Amino acid sequence: MTIARLNVGGGFPNHRMHAIVPQIEDTFALIDRVTTEAFGDNRPLLVCEPGRALCGDAFALAARVKALRDGTHVFLNDGVYGTLTELPMIGVIDRIEVLAADGTKRTGDAQPRIVFGPTCDSVDRLPGEIPLASDMEEGDFVIWQGMGSYSTVTNTRFNGFGELQMATVLGLKL
């Protein structure tokens, strides 16, 4: 029996971590090599779903700091029921920066923080501790890069939170 098409799946990585910049070409080369090794001259046509790798950097998320408590706990206007829903499942993105309300970048040393969303639900907590600028203040924005995959489509609007506003930003004028 000859296989006509083989779906090699999806879930290809996108740029979530500063230290790891996935190269989609390398992923495709590996799939190509292994398919040739496995099937030789009877190699099937390949089908794949590289969605995350293609659209992961399509969005950045700006969440507002609503409250800071005891220098460790941060409460945002977005969380795991909103556009940050995949972080507990996939892992935290470390491509984060903090901007003051006027758009200037906070430059304090990164400090591990426990981050909660707005719902007052115990599940609405980001995994682990998130390194955020030590000079962060209430009213600042936490900017996550690489949120294009599932951030908007999995937003639940749980308990009335999660209304999204989208904006095209070509650059910040500081």
Task: Name the DSSP letter for residue 57.
Answer: G
CATH of domain 59-160: 2.40.37.10
> In the chain, what are the domain boundaries?
5-55, 59-160
pLDDT band at 148 (very low <50, low <70, confident <90, very high): low
- Of the candidates 80, 74, 157, the one whose C-alpha atom is nearest the C-alpha of residue 123 is 80
3-class secondary-structure state, position 90: helix
Q: Over the Cα atoms of the chain, what is R_g? A: 20
pLDDT tens per residue, range 23-41: 778 888 888 999 999 999 9
- Beta-bridge mates of residue 127: none
